[in-house]
Amino acid sequence: DGGITQSPKYLFRKEGQNVTLSCEQNLNHDAMYWYRQDPGQGLRLIYYSQIVNDFQKGDIAEGYSVSREKKESFPLTVTSAQKNPTAFYLCASSIRGQGAPTQYFGPGTRLTVL
Amino acid sequence: QKEVEQDPGPLSVPEGAIVSLNCTYSNSAFQYFMWYRQYSRKGPELLMYTYSSGNKEDGRFTAQVDKSSKYISLFIRDSQPSDSATYLCAMKRRPNDYKLSFGAGTTVTVRA
């Protein structure tokens, strides 16, 4: 089955620790995205990548970092610099170029800072 | 002011009722409009995708776009308990735009 997988489903972190969220897709999509979802605020774009070895900051990139070494993988690191990291994190992917219909989402990772 | 406004609800309806959801937006450049359904603790899934103004129907779902009023709607006919979810609107300006602008989502409960 083609799709997007995110792991872990739940993640707990102590203040001051960096954590990395995994996102893998087998849809052969070029573009991948990370969003953060907070109650009452909708989805906010953290980072996106159009091709391997290239990525751009979204609206709320501060305190986060990403890498895109493989087409299938786009891990997100939540650093200790992120002031309020407790949230639901969603990874998405899409085809690239003209007419790209929309983005397809993974099941999400819920991060809680203790 | 947010770029996309969506009433968070919650909205509770009896089974079989018509569910009416809507979003308003401020950027007149938006041309592509989407509705996503998100079950609790899951990722959003695409329901409808429309371009410019007009209606689009898919089974029990109808999406409407009124660009002159900067207003989009989603109607769910013959609602079922399985339709209980959060519905998110999203939009973008150009077909190859990577950035989607999302509403906050409306939580819907369909009572059996």
Q: pLDDT > 70: what percent of chain A?
A: 94
- Residue A97 pLDDT: 64
Q: Which of A31, A43, A107 sits opposite B98 (nearest CB)?
A: A31
Give ∠ CA B1-B3-B8 in degrees, rounded to 5.
80
Q: pLDDT > 70: what percent of chain B?
A: 100
Q: Is the pLDDT of residue A39 over 70?
A: yes
User: For the CA atoms of A53, B44, B96, A59, what is the dihedral angle to 10 degrees?
Assistant: -60
- Residue B98 pLDDT: 81
Tens of pLDDT along chain B (112 residues) come to 789 999 888 999 999 999 999 999 999 999 999 999 999 989 999 999 998 888 999 999 999 999 999 999 999 999 999 999 999 999 999 877 888 899 999 999 999 9
Yes or no, beta carbons of A43 and B88 under 8 Å apart = yes
| Nearest-CA distance B38 → chain A (Å) | 10
Q: Which of B43, B100, B104 sits opposite A107 (nearest CB)?
A: B43
pLDDT band at A1 (very low <50, low <70, confident <90, very high): low
**Residues B37-63: tens digit of each pLDDT:** 999 989 999 999 998 888 999 999 999
In the DSSP assignment, the letter for residue B82 is: G
List Cα–Cα distances, A110 to A30, B33, B42, in angstroms: 25, 27, 10
Q: Residue range A28-57: average pLDDT?
A: 92
Yes or no, beta carbons of B104 and A102 under 8 Å apart = no
- Residue A114 pLDDT: 85
